[in-house]
Chain A
Amino acid sequence: DVKVTQSSRYLVKRTGEKVFLECVQDMDHENMFWYRQDPGLGLRLIYFSYDVKMKEKGDIPEGYSVSREKKERFSLILESASTNQTSMYLCASRTSGDDTQYFGPGTRLTVL
């Protein structure tokens, strides 16, 4: 079974703090994704990576950056958290040649 884990289920941060969300997958997948989920808006793609040290902007990259130093790990960084970044963050991965994505349990981030 594919296993995607995220470092925290719940996180509370203050405005202006730097926030790191980590995602690890154990299936040697080349592609990894970060989404945010807000009620009524579905999932929106923030960034994705198709290889180590490679990254591509998704639909809503503003205010976020990412890091992929190892194949199994994809980090989402909020350089200076703001209240409008309060959301559920979901990580996913897939292998090349297969569109099926496998998701982690999500991190619910609250920025006060």
Chain B
Amino acid sequence: GEDVEQSLFLSVREGDSSVINCTYTDSSSTYLYWYKQEPGAGLQLLTYIFSNMDMKQDQRLTVLLNKKDKHLSLRIADTQTGDSAIYFCAETRVGQLTFGSGTQLTVLP
């Protein structure tokens, strides 16, 4: 298909790990991105990974990239209530970003 796909909802307990998954379509994408959107706000760049990497770690965030399956994931360790937000993955396509529909992460106390 032509869409970047994500599941719409994810709930986790505070302190657990969250894993948000994404499948993309363009194997020539140079970068793949994760953006975070808090309620009522714009999108904030969270992290990105270059397409020749398999993994990138940044504090509590781990990005895994499986180019063969065109699968991208974002793992948030020790999830906190402040991590509750919508998370968008995006691929580069012809110089533009194509976004998934976003995953609403809810962190339960």
Contacts and interface: CB of A to CB of B under 8 A. Distances in A.
Given A41-B101, A42-B102, A100-B31, A106 B41 contact: yes
B43 interface: yes
Nearest to A40: B101
B21 interface: no
Given A42-B88, A42-B101, A43-B99, A99 B41 contact: no
Chain B binding surface, main DSSP class: strand
Given A99-B97, A100-B45, A106-B41, A43 B88 contact: yes
Chain A binding surface, main DSSP class: strand
Contact of B92 (A41, A99, A102, A104): A99
Contacts of B4: 42
A81 to B, nearest CB: 21
A42 B100 contact: yes
Nearest to B45: A100
Given A40-B101, A42-B100, A42-B101, A100 B48 contact: yes
A105 B38 CA distance: 10
B55 interface: no
Interface residues of B, number: 22
Nearest to A107: B42
A103 B99 CA distance: 13
B30 interface: yes
A101 B31 CA distance: 12
A112 to B, nearest CB: 20
B10 interface: no
Interface in B41-82: 41-45, 48
Contact of A102 (B30, B45, B48, B88): B45
Interface of A: 4, 9, 33, 40-43, 45, 48, 90, 92, 99-106, 108
Leading 9 A-B pairs by shortest Cβ distance: A42-B101, A103-B42, A103-B43, A43-B99, A105-B42, A99-B92, A42-B99, A106-B42, A104-B42
